[in-house]
Amino acid sequence: MFTLDFSDRRPIYEQIKDNIKEMILRGILKENEKIPSVRELAVMLTINPNTIQKAYRDLENEGYIHTVKGRGSFVTSHAHNLTKLKVLEVKKEFEKSAKTLKELGEEEESLILMVRNIYHGEEEK
């Protein structure tokens, strides 16, 4: 369900947020579906509940989940659309950056290799 990489430079709470957003985008978590409680997820991942709480708070502030006191946290009805919009936004930023690199003389093969390395989590050589 959740994949955490403790060698990743990103904070754990960011990785949790990304995992939940990805599960929403892929339809694994559906609208109005209850997500694990802070305590349940902390036990499952063997990490501090405050880390989970930070991820959930951010997800709620961003509109991906909502919390009902005494019932838990749930995926919002519009979370899937938010994730799609974010993907489109990032793609536009990426396209702009790729065009800038091209204009600065970066070779096509170099750009392709850069993307491949990023995709596979490798450091640039």
Domain coordinates of the chain in residue numbers?
12-78, 81-119
Per-residue tokens: 87? 């993907």
Averaged pLDDT of the chain: 91
Q: What pLDDT sits at residue 44? A: 94
CB of 76 closer than 8 Å to CB of 66: yes
Pairwise CA distance, residues 12 & 101, whole Å? 31
> Confidence class of residue 123 from pLDDT cuts 50, 70 and 90?
low
Phi and psi (nearest 5°) for 93?
-65, -40
Q: Are strands 65-68 and 34-35 parallel, antiparallel or unpaired?
A: unpaired
- In a 13 Å sphere around the CA of 20, the CA atoms on its Cβ side amount to 30
Query: What is 12-78's CATH topology?
Result: Arc Repressor Mutant, subunit A (1.10.10)
How much is the average pLDDT of 26-42? 94
How much is the average pLDDT of 66-87? 89
Q: What percent of the chain has pLDDT over 70?
A: 97
